[in-house]
Amino acid sequence: MDSKSRSVAVFGGGCFWCTEAVFKMLRGIISVEPGYAGGTTENPTYYAVSNGNTGHAEVIKIEFDSSQITYSDLLTVFFGTHDATQVNRQGNDVGTQYRSIILYTDGTQEKEARAFIQQLNDSSKEGKPVATDIVPLTKFYEAEQEHLDYYARNKNQGYCQVIIEPKLQKVQEKFAELLKTHSKN
């Protein structure tokens, strides 16, 4: 892979345990790292972010090969796997840390994200506007070690079985053409 096709995307769509597991299933993904971004507190911890005092959201940083999967493909999966019309929550996970957010790394990503959201709003049958924040990525903070590969290490845990597993099944059905041939969740 040449360095020109190596790109980074940063998304927050609820709990990063879920989003990490979803994006690890896709072809062309080099790495997915959970972390925190979008706030002002330096070196935030999971505990501080969970208390809602940092301004940060739980996010994932995706390194991908743009010759195998496009930013638009990633946006399609991102919006197809969470409810972007909910403000500061995803399901039972409530708080600003669970907000829907895109942190763009350049003007092209910003433009593409805004156009994608406009298209979603224009085609909405429910009349609810997309509430996703679109902001520049200023700093990404890695999550603590225990959050890395959370689903893969905790498949039998209740949250993983009730929340993450059904989401991964939905991804397999809805986005089969974007999956790795032999997905290792």
DSSP assignment letter at 162: I
Taking alpha carbons only, the member of 91, 105, 79, 74 closest to residue 14 is 91
Helix axes 71-80, 165-174, angle to 10 degrees: 130
Residue 15 bears catalytic tag = yes
Per-residue b or e along 77-114, where b marks 16 or more CB atoms closer than 10 Å to that residue's CB? bbbebbebbbeebbeebeebbbbbbbbbbeeebbebbe
Distance, in Å, from the CA atom of 117 to the CA atom of 129, rounded to the nearest integer, reads 9
Distance, in Å, from the CA atom of 16 to the CA atom of 185, rounded to the nearest integer, reads 15
Tokens linked to 33 = 């790292």
CB 150 within 8 A of CB 4: no
Helix axes 71-80, 107-123, angle to 10 degrees: 40
Question: Among 8, 9, 10, 15, which one carries the catalytic annotation?
Answer: 15
Q: Which residues are catalytic?
A: 15
